Structure formats: C-alpha cells, structure tokens
Amino acid sequence: MSHRTRLRPTVVASAAAVVVLALGFTGTAQAAVPAAAPSSAGRTGDDPDQPDNPLYDAPESFQVTSGRTDVSLSWSLLSAATGYEVYRAEAEGTEPDEVGPYTLLDTVTTGEYVDVSADPDVTYAYKIRAVDDAGHVSPYTETQRGTVDTVAPFAPRDLTRSREDERGVTLTWRTGDSDAVKYVVYRAESPNAPRTKAGSTTSLTFRDTKGDAGRTYVYEVRGVDAVGNESASSNFVTGTKTVTDATAPKAPSLGNARLVGKRLTLSWSQSPYVPVSSYTVYRSKTSPVDITEANRVATVTGTEYTATVGSDQGERDYYYAVVATTPHNVASPASASVKPAYKDPQRPPATEVYEVAPGAGSVRLSWYAVPYDSPLKGYRVYRSTTPGVTKENAEFTHDTTSTDYVDRALTGGTKYYYAIAAVNEEGIESVLSPEVSATPTG
C-alpha cells in the first residue's frame, strides 16, 4: 500500500519565507531547492485525532489461508508497532460489506496468527491493525476471507481407460463439478486389494508408466481440494501395460543363498507377467556383481541353482546375482547381489529301517529318507553276523542313493544284523539306525 504524505503547516510557511527572502535580495523570484522527503520514521498519520501517529499505514502483505483444521493469517511487520489486533466476523455474502459484526480475537506481537476457534465450514472475514504502546492504531487492512474447510470435493466421474501400450496405461476422467485442484490416481492388484498411490496430476488425464508390464491393475481417481480434503473414489477401471518382444522382465528376487560346507544353494522368485526362458548366474568377489561373461557361472531354466564349490576359504567370499532372459533374448536387470551365508556341515539325522524281508539267500531292507538342509550323498548299509553291529565291527558295507537295498549271496540259515547310516556330501555320517536282523532261507 503506498504511503500518503501531507506537509505540515509549519513546513509550508517555511517554504514561503524562503521565496520572500529570495525576492527581497534579488528582485527576481527563484525556485527554492526542495527539501529532502521526510523519512518514514518521521512521518505522521492522516487521522486528525492522532496527528502524531507513527502508524500511518495498515500492515502490508496481509494474507489469509484456509485449512482443514484452522485458518492461518500472516502480514508484514511495522517498525513502529508493538502489537497487532486480529478481528474476525462471519461473512454473510461475497461483497465486502456483507459481514457480521467484527470481534477482537487476540492481540499478538508477531506477524502471524492461527485461528483454531473457527467453526468448520463457516466463511469468516478477517482484518488486522497495528498498535503501539502509546495507544496509536493503524488503519485496518483490507478484509480477507478464510474457512476451516472440512468438505471434500465431489468424486471425479466417468473414469475411462483411454489407451494401453508398452509405455503404460492412460486414464481420463471428468471433474465431477467439484472444487478439486488436483487428482490422485490409485491402483491395486485386484478390486478388493489395498490401493497404492500411482501418482497425481492437475489435469484430467494420467499415464501410469510404472506398473509391471503384463500385470492388470485396477485404477480409481480421487479429487483433492486446496486444503487437502480428498473426495470419494471415482468408478474403477482396469488396465495393463502391454508386453512386447522388446519388454524386459523384472529382476529376479534372490531370496535364498547358502553355502553348507561345499554345497551352494541359490533360489529366487520371478514376476510371472513377462515370459522368461532362462536365468544366468554370475558371481564376483565384489558387490554389486559385475555382469560380464567372465563372471558367468551357469545358465539354468528353473529358479534354483545348486553346485559343489571348493572347500577353501576363498570359495566363501563370492557374491552372486541372477539375470532373467526372455525367449526374445531380452535380459532383465540383475538381482540384488547376495553373499551366501556359510555354515559348517552338520551330521545328518538318523534313519530307521521299516521293513526287513528275508528271501532265498537274500535279505531286502527298506528305510525312511531323512530330512536334511542340503542333498544327501546317500546311505551306507552296515552288516554283521554278530549282534551289536557298529561301524567298526561291521563285516560288510554297501553305499547306495536309494532307500532300498537287497543283500544277496547270503548263507541260508545264518542270521544277519543290519544298521543304516545317512551320509552327506562331505562324507559325514549320521549315527546308525536301530539294528534289525533277518535269516535268509537256503
């Protein structure tokens, strides 16, 4: 607001005296040099009731901001002011004079005020004026309006999927004749699944480029007004980012990496929406793994890789990563690089023979497979002709990968005693199974 300057009578008289003196000395009128404009600190107000009022103008930059829980006011400070009176009235219409009586809310010393006592969804008119310790007051500011706005906009209407292609899904909608200033687009994996924010826009169209290619999403839109109230949801539509021959699959999710003794096991999961024909495993001493041919370990078609690695300490220091490849030879980004957790091999659990069947010069044994955290090398059958068979006193052993064994070329009428041990890939054996016996026929 511009400052208004009024010369005081004493100043005018002094200027006239200068002109008279000039005439008296020269006989010719000469223009006197204007005096410098008074500084703001020396100015006085226009109010005849306050002739020496230093608060000659209202505070500037007065702003009122509506909110969801309060109304915020702000203004510029005046150097001569020691406080500011905040006034509020109910606004009965849109014209400046269509307001109710003003009430003094508070007197503050800063350039801001937050009205937390305003009733929700009522339009108020606000104005302020400055005061000082001598009782002077400034003019009022221009009236500004504000509201504690709790009313959400109307929901957007006629949400439509206008396009699907390899770049994404394009949506359009109508405003719903609301006061929304922006729109938030939500998507979900099914109509009843939780919604997540896909993005926001101030226009009536949105392209979702971040969804997984090949995956069908459910979309809906909500309007948001200037104070953050969000509308109800629009109708929902479905959309799918198109998969083409050039579409890259997502990176595999490498979830299991372990090294038990010399046995390496890696397993991962893969998004199913882009077809994958193979996976390539890479390893390096540093992370992230450098995906080069020199670091390629193997290519497999499944989502698991197992291998026997060297037993030296250096074999435990590798990081592994996996890359998926489509039938069109398009590679995914690499998975996270993972260093397998090493664990010393443990003794396998013991098994138990559940069937012993003697025959002519033979005995058939069947036992339970044992659970183990890595594949077993197999089982070892121990046989003796005396009870109390042990690994040390056994007269015969046989290694097998099966859980059945037929012991042949036995002497009929002789009683044989058996026990079974599980053997892991490091050669570590379980304790022996409970002993069983059988006598073959002649």
The model's pLDDT over 370-383, given as tens digits with 9 standing for 90+, comes to 987 667 889 999 99
CA 148, 152, 153: angle at the middle one, nearest 5?
120
pLDDT tens-digit map of 322-372? 999 999 999 999 999 999 988 888 899 999 999 999 999 999 999 999 987
Encode pLDDT of 72-127 as tens digits: 999 999 999 999 999 999 998 777 778 889 999 999 999 999 999 999 999 999 99
Residue 50: pLDDT band (50, 70, 90) is confident
Q: What is the value of pTM for the model shown?
A: 0.64
Q: What's the pLDDT score for residue 45? A: 58
Contacts 24+ apart (CB under 8 A), 50-53: 50/136, 50/137, 53/136, 53/137, 53/138
Between residues 3 and 377, the one the model is more confident about: 377
Distance CA 304, CA 396 (A): 38
The HSE-up count of residue 33 (CA atoms within 13 Å, CB side) is 1
Dihedral over alpha carbons 108, 144, 102, 123 (to 10 degrees): -110
CA-based nearest residue to 251, from 301, 309, 304, 322: 322
Confidence of residue 61 (pLDDT cuts 50, 70, 90): very high
Q: Which residues in 37-51 are b (16+ Cβ under 10 Å) and which e?
A: eeeeeebbbeeeebe
Torsion angle in degrees (nearest 10) through CA of 132, 134, 135, 137: -40
